[in-house]
Amino acid sequence: MSARINVDQNMLVPLSEAADFVVFADTMSPGLRSCFALRERVHIQHVETILILDITENLRQLAAASAQLLDAKYVISVERNSFNLYQLFTDDKIDSFIILNDDETQFQQVMQKEAADVDIKINDLW
């Protein structure tokens, strides 16, 4: 669509040639909200740590990619599905992860250790 209309080039988000455009279109509205909030309102600096809270898989991937693209120093993701987190970690999309579980005490201890100095939190459910 952007090839057919006039758009500000600074407002475009680059996509890989391998991107699944159906998946991208499905996540565009909430996912781009996070990306543009980071880019236009927060103005990430290389010294900042970002915490991505429990959101859908596609949004998590987009939030992690946005944080990297915008030069965040450190990206932490929190969610219940350890496989998804491990995959993002091994693909170097996030620097650390915290698995949500039913042990509130353990979760609080891990959060205090891993996410004590977070500068920005991303949670699409707010």
Residue 88 has pLDDT above 80, yes or no: yes
At residue 45, φ and ψ (nearest 5 deg) are -115, 160
- Cα(38)–Cα(122) distance, integer angstroms: 9
Output 21 or 27, whichever has higher pLDDT.
21
Output 106 or 21, whichever has higher pLDDT.
106
> What one-letter code names the amino acid at 36?
F
CATH number for region 19-122? 3.40.50.720
**Contact by Cβ (8 Å): 122, 34:** yes
Whole-prediction pTM value? Answer: 0.68
- Encode pLDDT of 26-59 as tens digits: 666 666 666 666 777 677 777 888 888 866 777 7
pLDDT band at 1 (very low <50, low <70, confident <90, very high): very low
Residue 95 has pLDDT above 90, yes or no: yes
DSSP 8-state class, residue 77: E
Mean pLDDT of 57-72: 80
Q: Where are the domains of the chain?
A: 19-122
**Contact by Cβ (8 Å): 47, 73:** yes
